Amino acid sequence: MADITDIKAILYTEKSLGLQEDGVVVIQTSNRMTKNGLKEVLREYFGFIPLKVNSLRQEGKAKSFKGIKGKRDSYKKFYVTLPEGANIESLEV
């Protein structure tokens, strides 16, 4: 069962800010979050059901830091289309 602690951040990139003008918010979550789980969290904590939810899995990049090889964490990214008047700006992650 997914909950609000699975939401890591709202992404603010050049692309996501352009999408926000059209009512789409980009949310970064843990790998265990599902579309239905995210819809349930948004309904429970913010009081609205999104019009549309698209998801993608972002694999962690292989990186090297001071000669030690490692890998960034993998995560899921959701593109959430908000209904008129809905707002999730109050999310502090």
Query: What is the per-residue pLDDT for 93?
Result: 41
SS3 content of the chain, % helix, strand, coil (to 5): 25, 35, 40
| Residue boundaries of the structural domains of the chain | 4-81
pLDDT grade for 89, boundaries at 50, 70 and 90: low
Whether 50 shows a pLDDT value over 70: the answer reads yes
Query: What is the per-residue pLDDT for 52?
Result: 95
DSSP run (H or E) holding 46: helix 35-46
CATH code linked to domain 4-81: 3.30.70.330
Q: Is the dihedral of CA 31, 32, 36, 41 positive or negative?
A: negative
Question: Looking at the DSSP assignment, which residues form a beta bridge with residue 80?
Answer: 25, 53
pTM: 0.84
Contact, 34 vs 7, CB < 8 A? no
pLDDT in tens, 25-49: 999 999 999 999 999 999 998 888 9
